[in-house]
Every structure is written in C-alpha cells, then in structure tokens.
C-alpha cells in the first residue's frame, strides 16, 4: 500500500532501517562542490555537485514520491525549472499555453522562447477549443489549474486525452495546489512544474523550482540538461525546502481552512464585486476541482468596486503584507496589474479579467480571527 502524503513528506522508504549519516534525522547538507574518487574509473556515485549532490537528490526523490513521478529535478527557482524544461523542445515547435499562466512564464515565453523560434497559442484552457488550435508542429500543451490569478480550473484528465490523441506532451504547473492537493501525473500529465518557492518551501525564505516526470525519455533528457546548463538547487537551499516540506500537509490544511472562511467573508463585503475561489460552490470549476484534486488551496482573487479601494487596501494592510509571492505561512496581498502580471500585454491581461480593481490574497496560517480583524479594519476605513 502506498503511504500517505504526510508520511511521504517525512520519510523516504529507501533510507529506512539504515543508520547512515550517523543516524541524523535531518538529512545532512552536503556543502561540497566536488567528491574524491576511490580509484581510477571509480566513483562514490557523486562526481561534481552541478551533476548531483546527495542533499539535492534526497529532495528530488521526496518530491518525485509526492507527485507520483519516476524522477524530479530541483532547480534554483521555478523560472529556472521552466527554462530548463524548454530545452527539451526544438526551434519551430509550437505550444498551446494557458493565457492566464503565471506572469513570469508568459514573459519568458514571449521574450526568450520566441527568440529561440518557439511558437505559442494562448487559450483559456478551462473553456476554449484546445483541439482546434493544434497544428502540425504542436508539441505540447502547457496549463496551470487553478490559474494565476483568475483561478480558472481546467480538466486535466480531459486535456490529457487530447494530448495523448495528438501525441503531445501535457505540462502542468502545479504550484497553486502543491502535490498535497493535486497530482497531475496521475491524471495523465507527462510533466509537472513547481515553483518550490511557494507551498513546498512554504516559509517565504527560499527560492526553488521543480520538474517532475513519469517518462524515462524525458528524465534522461533532463538529467543531461541539468548537468549541462547548471541551475541545480544548492545543497543548503535543498535542505531548506526539505525542512519546509515536512509540514506541507498541515500548512495546506490550515491555510485552506482560513481561505474558505475569508472567501465567504469577502462575498459579504459591499465593496467586493466578485470573489474567485474554486472552493466556493458557485465557482464554475467547483465540480472539476472536487473531482481531480483533494482540496481547493488558499489562493483567493477578488475584484473591488474601484481602483481607489484596491489601492487603499494595499496601502493600509499591516500584519498582512503587500508583497509578491504566495504559498508561505504569512498572508500576502498582491496587485496583479503592477506586480505579478505587469509584463503580460495589456490586452491579454484585460481579456483574462485582471483589472485595476483586482487583488490576490495568498492566505497563510495565522489565526483566522486576526486575519478577519485586519481585513475588517482595512475594508472599513473612512473614505
Ligand atoms: C512563482 C511562480 C513561478 C515561478 O517561480 P519562481 O520560484 O518565482 O521562479 C511559476 N509558476 C507559478 C504558478 C508561480 O506562482
């Protein structure tokens, strides 16, 4: 029987019953660049830390186990993971990508991948005709669900059937729900991307990124590429993410519990025009996310009535921080128009529904009473 996710965050079965590393419970940080060889033509299994490092490897195996992949790759940031992944494609390849992806992914595709002669078609993958956009040179479909920041939910299994029928790779950025709530590989995806900076690390203190796959062929390509390009995660940062992941489950549960309360509270505020949270039964993706995931996460986007109210909220928060990023223990609020999605072309941003009245919350694990007290205060300041 496969062990539960909380257990898998803590224990790798292959190390059990052994007392290597003096029995240290916390996996050691192998802060070394290189490794001495026992003899000519011999290796300890590690040669140089750009290729592999024991601490990074322990982390990669843990993340692979959580996602149900055969292997994972730990990179210095989420964007480094996406950059590395793009190297498995060739100039002239076409990709169908979700229009409401993380803004940095769109910036990368439009400014770097296109320069390398990759083509993109952006769609709302929760409702547009994906199959109709497939061309002779299409190689992959790249989605996020829920999307950032509009929280659109796409049906991973349905999209994976389209991908398989046309021999395309399905890539899913699973940052928002983390492997604790959603496992795209089990729903037919070929590759999962994570910004480990977010829920996996969970403490707003470390940058990291992951690629996870269940394909031997992709795994071999990526092992070659990570050693050749060199953005593997450092031993210390690998340890910080391992340390953060030990509490992934309880953090995900607690922040989601807070998020459900806050989403319902937001709905009752007269200055709030719309709440985008897939855990609300009226959300158009509610049934799909219930079917394909074990939770709704703790990201909430909402529109207020005026830009002035949006600005007042971000300028008045005190305990809640006005900061980019998400998925950490502290609650953050962001303004997608000028922060995370500033480099998305205006017309795309507006079409996706991101307006100057849109705010995004990443709910942390503070006491709900304190979060609601702070929100009540900033929502009811005198005009
Ligand atoms: C933050 C983020 C990224 C990029 O990750 P970094 O660690 O910041 O480089 C990619 N995808 C999503 C969904 C993100 O939220």
Strands (E), 69-190: 71-75, 94-98, 119-123, 138-144, 169-173
More reliable by pLDDT, 16 or 284: 284
Residue in this structure with the two tokens 């992934």, named with its chain if needed: 248
Residue in this structure with the two tokens 């996706």, named with its chain if needed: 352
Report the pLDDT value the prediction gives residue 346, as an integer from 0 to 100.
Answer: 84
pLDDT-derived band at 342 (thresholds 50, 70, 90) equals: confident
169: β partners: 140
Question: CB-based contacts of 140: which residues, under 8 Å, 6+ apart?
Answer: 89, 93, 95, 96, 163, 168, 169, 170, 171
Q: At what angle do helices 368-379 and 248-267 cross, to 10 degrees?
A: 30
CA quadruple 285, 215, 123, 102: dihedral positive or negative?
positive
Report the pLDDT value the prediction gives residue 292, as an integer from 0 to 100.
Answer: 98
102 is catalytic: yes
Exposure string over 178-188, b if 16+ CB within 10 A, otherwise e: bbbbbbbbebb
Backbone angles phi, psi at 275, to 5 degrees: -120, 130
Comparing CA positions, the residue from 43, 57, 89 lying closest to residue 235 is: 57
* DSSP codes joined into one string, 1-19: -PPPHHHHHH--GGGTT--
Note the pLDDT tens digit of each residue in 58-78. 999 999 999 999 999 999 999
- Alpha carbons 346 and 364: distance in angstroms, whole number: 30
Report the pLDDT value the prediction gives residue 15, as an integer from 0 to 100.
Answer: 82
- What does the block give as tokens for 176? 């928002």
Report the pLDDT value the prediction gives residue 258, as an integer from 0 to 100.
Answer: 98
Spatial contact of 89 and 140, defined as CB atoms under 8 Å apart: yes
Cβ(198) – ligand 1 distance below 6 Å: yes
Q: What's the CATH number for 5-245?
A: 3.40.640.10
Report the pLDDT value the prediction gives residue 82, as an integer from 0 to 100.
Answer: 98
- Among 75, 99, 198, 205, say which to mutate for ligand 1: greatest number of ligand atoms within 8 Å of CB: 198
* Confidence check: pLDDT of 383 > 80: no
- Cα distances (Å, whole numbers) of residue 271 to 80, 227, 228, 237, 356: 39, 52, 52, 42, 14
Distance 86 CA to ligand 1 centre (A): 15
Q: What angle do CA 318, 323, 326 make, to 5 degrees?
A: 115
- Cα distances (Å, whole numbers) of residue 203 to 149, 158, 328: 20, 34, 5
Report the pLDDT value the prediction gives residue 341, as an integer from 0 to 100.
Answer: 78
Question: For 186-198, what is the mean pLDDT?
Answer: 98
Question: For 229-257, what is the mean pLDDT?
Answer: 98
Report the pLDDT value the prediction gives residue 90, as an integer from 0 to 100.
Answer: 97
Number of helical H runs and strand E runs in the chain: 13, 12
* Confidence check: pLDDT of 350 > 80: yes
Cβ(146) – ligand 1 distance below 6 Å: no
Q: What angle do CA 20, 224, 79 make, to 5 degrees?
A: 90
Report the pLDDT value the prediction gives residue 338, as an integer from 0 to 100.
Answer: 83
Spatial contact of 241 and 248, defined as CB atoms under 8 Å apart: no
173 is catalytic: yes
Q: Which of 8, 56, 139, 198 is catalytic?
A: 198
Distance 326 CA to ligand 1 centre (A): 9
pLDDT-derived band at 26 (thresholds 50, 70, 90) equals: very high
- Examine residue 111 and say whether the peptide bond preceding it is cis (omega within 30 degrees of 0): no
Cβ(149) – ligand 1 distance below 6 Å: no
- Alpha carbons 343 and 358: distance in angstroms, whole number: 16
35 is catalytic: no
- Report, at the CATH architecture level, how domain 248-379 is classified: Alpha-Beta Complex (3.90)
More reliable by pLDDT, 348 or 254: 254
Cβ(144) – ligand 1 distance below 6 Å: yes
Cβ(104) – ligand 1 distance below 6 Å: yes
Report the pLDDT value the prediction gives residue 343, as an integer from 0 to 100.
Answer: 80
Report the pLDDT value the prediction gives residue 321, as an integer from 0 to 100.
Answer: 97
* Confidence check: pLDDT of 101 > 80: yes
- Cα distances (Å, whole numbers) of residue 286 to 4, 82, 126, 145, 296: 25, 28, 12, 12, 9
360 is catalytic: no
Lowest mean pLDDT among 95-109, 134-148, 305-319, 341-355: 341-355
pLDDT-derived band at 229 (thresholds 50, 70, 90) equals: very high
Backbone angles phi, psi at 75, to 5 degrees: -115, 170
Note the pLDDT tens digit of each residue in 129-167. 999 999 999 999 999 999 989 999 999 999 999 999 999
- What does the block give as tokens for 311? 């600005």
* Confidence check: pLDDT of 171 > 80: yes
- Spans of all domains in the chain: 5-245, 248-379
Q: Which of 27, 30, 102, 142 is catalytic?
A: 102
Report the pLDDT value the prediction gives residue 19, as an integer from 0 to 100.
Answer: 86
- Alpha carbons 256 and 272: distance in angstroms, whole number: 20
* Confidence check: pLDDT of 340 > 80: no
């Amino acid at each position: 029987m496969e062990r539960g996710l909380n257990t898998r965050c803590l224990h790798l079965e292959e190390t059990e019953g052994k007392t290597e590393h003096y029995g240290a419970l916390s996996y050691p940080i192998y802060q070394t660049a290189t490794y001495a060889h026992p003899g000519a033509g011999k290796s300890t299994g590690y040669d140089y830390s750009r290729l592999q490092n024991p601490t990074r490897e322990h982390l990669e195996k843990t993340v692979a186990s959580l996602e149900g992949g055969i292997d994972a790759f730990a990179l210095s940031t989420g964007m480094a993971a996406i950059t590395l992944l793009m190297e498995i494609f060739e100039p002239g390849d076409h990709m169908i990508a979700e229009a409401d992806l993380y803004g940095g992914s769109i910036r990368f595709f439009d400014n770097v991948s296109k320069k390398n002669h990759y083509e993109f078609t952006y769609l709302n993958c929760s409702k547009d005709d994906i199959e109709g956009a497939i061309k002779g040179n299409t190689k992959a479909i790249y989605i996020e669900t829920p999307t950032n920041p509009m929280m659109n939910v796409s049906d991973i299994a349905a999209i994976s059937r389209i991908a398989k029928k046309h021999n395309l790779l399905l890539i899913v950025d699973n940052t928002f729900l983390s492997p604790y709530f959603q496992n795209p590989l089990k729903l037919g995806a070929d590759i999962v991307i994570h910004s480990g900076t977010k829920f996996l690390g969970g403490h707003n203190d470390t940058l990291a990124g992951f690629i996870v796959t269940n394909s031997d062929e992709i795994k071999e390509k990526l092992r070659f590429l990570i050693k050749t390009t060199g953005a593997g995660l450092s031993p210390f940062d690998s340890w910080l993410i391992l340390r953060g992941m030990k509490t992934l489950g309880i953090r995900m549960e607690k922040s989601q519990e807070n998020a459900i309360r806050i989403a319902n509270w937001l709905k009752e505020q007269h200055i709030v025009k719309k709440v985008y949270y897939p855990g609300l039964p009226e959300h158009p993706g509610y049934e799909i996310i219930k079917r394909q995931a074990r939770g709704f996460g703790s990201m909430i986007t909402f529109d207020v009535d005026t830009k002035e109210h949006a600005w007042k909220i971000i300028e008045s928060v005190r305990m809640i921080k006005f900061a980019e990023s998400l998925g950490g223990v502290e609650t953050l609020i962001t303004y997608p128009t000028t922060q995370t999605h500033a480099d998305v072309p205006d017309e795309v941003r507006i079409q996706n529904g991101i307006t100057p009245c849109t705010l995004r919350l990443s709910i942390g694990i503070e006491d709900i009473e304190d979060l609601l007290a702070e929100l009540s205060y900033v929502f009811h300041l005198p005009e």
